[in-house]
Amino acid sequence: MRQNSITIYGRPLVYGACEGYTLVSDEPISFYGGVDPSTGRIVEKGHPLKGQKISGKILIFPYGKGSTVGSYILLRLKRKGLAPSGIINLESEPIIIVGCIISQIPLMDRPSIELKDIPNNRLIKMVVSRDKAFITW
């Protein structure tokens, strides 16, 4: 790790490593109806990230919401190359966990800082293994 870097730890859920720019929301996300699976853009009316593309990003939001179909929307996004590189939640629920497992998207939750303290549009590295999960920038 380089000098002056910041490392944030969390609970490991779906193993993997990735790198990407952060896309941070203080609002939950529904992948079924809230994300267009054809474009990888947030389309939920009134959502603070409406219009933002999630592909290749480290998507950071409190928790998922909505239908269990959301897990399959994540898989569809992954197959089209439109999925986020990784996901960080305050508390992950089954829809997001299953979606990340079947799509092989690294997932961690319970970060050691508040989501609002993670900078938006910052290039970070995310590593999730059996023993630990962390992001660094």
In the chain, where are the structural domains located?
20-136
Rounded to an integer, the average pLDDT of 63-88 is: 97
What is the 8-class DSSP label of residue 117?
G
Rounded to an integer, the average pLDDT of 5-29 is: 97
Catalytic residue set? 67
Residue range 20-136, CATH number: 3.50.30.10
- Beta bridge pairs of residue 125: 19, 136
pLDDT digits (tens, 9 = 90+) for 88-109: 999 999 999 999 999 999 999 9
**Any idea which residue has 């490593």 for tokens?**
17
